[in-house]
A = this chain, B = another copy of it.
Amino acid sequence: MARILITSGPTRQYIDPVRYLTNASSGRMGAALASAAIGLGHDVVIISGPVQVEYPQAARVIPVRTTDEMLDAAQNEFARCDGAIGAAAPCDYMPRVVSEQKLSKTGHPIQLELVETPDVVATLGQQKRDDQWVVGFALETEDHRFRATVKLQKKHCDLIVSNGPQAIDSQENEVELLDVHGDVIADIRGSKEVVADELLRHIDQRLVVARSGA
């Protein structure tokens, strides 16, 4: 049995007290992965941005709002985990300056300078011990497989799940699971529950069982 950290859902980066940048990630993939992991007997802790999805009762859920909060929570929890699955879609840009008051409309354009937020999965990938593993997700609108492999290497992941933007806020998904060589281990399509079960089967065989010395 392993202890698995799953990040899930979107994060928000506020530009003022009301408006924020985000994406439509629903947390459904994270919830399905948590159920699949629990079904295999693993302990699950979920770090989730604001979502409406119901996570399995057996999982411990830590709610966060921004990418920084997700990173802090993930680093705190990861030390006590065997591995992490980065199924969240953290907002990866934030305004350099956040307005303390709601920006009033003036009739003129606003110039917003966006800087990158810290990368949650890359940070876990860099900090992982030899006995820990990290599985990332890559969502690309083009060159899926190539870009996913680049991300896997840059973020020191052990496996990466490549999917397209149609995955967001949908019931279904179609993914490729890639290893460190960029080889396609599995090509899975179906409901997020079916995809999650199949992904967890591969993660279990290649990462959990392998490391437990079985």
Contact = CB atoms under 8 A, between A and B. Distances in A.
B17 A19 contact: no
Contact of A52 (B52, B107, B111): B52
A20 B22 contact: yes
Contacts of A81: none
Interface residues of A, number: 38
A141 B21 CA distance: 19
A76 to B, nearest CB: 24
Interface in A1-21: 12, 15, 17-21
Contacts of A21: 15, 19-21
B93 A17 contact: no
A109 B96 contact: yes
A23 interface: yes
A110 B109 contact: no
A129 B52 CA distance: 41
Interface in A99-139: 101-105, 107, 109-116, 139
A140 interface: yes
Given A109-B115, A142-B101, A20 B18 contact: no
A22 B18 CA distance: 8
Nearest to A113: B109
Contact of A93 (B50, B110, B116): B110
A18 B21 CA distance: 10
A102 B139 contact: yes
9 contacts: A17-B165, A18-B24, A19-B91, A20-B24, A21-B21, A22-B22, A24-B50, A102-B141, A112-B113
Given A19-B21, A104-B147, 4 more contacts: A19-B23, A19-B93, A22-B22, A93-B110
